[in-house]
């Protein structure tokens, strides 16, 4: 049975998981895809996504035009993640419940945490700043 990887390998893996965060706002690399369209990794300016009531408690909504998924916890808190696939940069186009599916190669992600549910992607989706303002959901950096 395999044990934990040596400390040096864990450090490398941890560093790899953080890499997409540094790339927020930059164009995602689409070089590894086989026909996927590269897309922005997240809003670089505040984006009004719609009414707060559009995302129910315990639910999620995919905003394809902004490449963002927003979920709401049972306590009402909002979370948002980029929906540019971390595998090869395709825009993720399907949300079922709280599961995101990328049709380029079949990766799946949890819309409430950004975690990978199914490979080939191995890196979680980058979190995007989100807030409620005057009954609206606003993603991206503050104005």
104 binds ligand FES (CB under 6 A): yes
Residue 107 contacts ligand FES per CB under 6 A? yes
| Residue 126 sits in the site that holds ligand FES (CB under 6 A) | no
Strand ranges in the chain using DSSP code E only, listed in sequence order: 47-51, 60-63, 68-72, 78-82, 94-96, 99-101, 108-110, 116-118, 127-128, 130-133, 136-139
Contact map string, positions 17 to 46, toward ligand FES, x by CB under 6 A: ----------------x--x----------
Which residues of the chain form contacts with ligand FES (CB under 6 A)? 33, 36, 85, 87-88, 90, 102, 104-107, 120-121
């Amino acid at each position: 049975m395999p044990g934990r990887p040596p400390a040096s390998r864990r450090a490398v893996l941890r560093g790899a998981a953080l890499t997409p965060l540094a790339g927020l706002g930059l164009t995602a690399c689409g070089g590894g895809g086989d026909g996927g369209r590269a897309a922005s990794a997240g809003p670089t300016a505040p984006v009004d996504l719609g009414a707060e009531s559009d995302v129910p408690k315990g639910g999620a909504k995919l905003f394809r035009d902004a490449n963002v998924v927003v979920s709401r916890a049972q306590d009402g808190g909002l979370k948002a993640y980029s929906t540019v696939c971390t595998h090869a940069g395709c825009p993720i186009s399907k949300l079922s419940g709280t599961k995101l599916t990328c049709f380029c190669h079949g990766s799946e992600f949890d819309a409430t945490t950004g975690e990978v549910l199914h490979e080939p992607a191995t890196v979680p989706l980058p979190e995007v700043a989100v807030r409620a303002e005057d009954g609206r959901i606003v993603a991206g950096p503050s104005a």
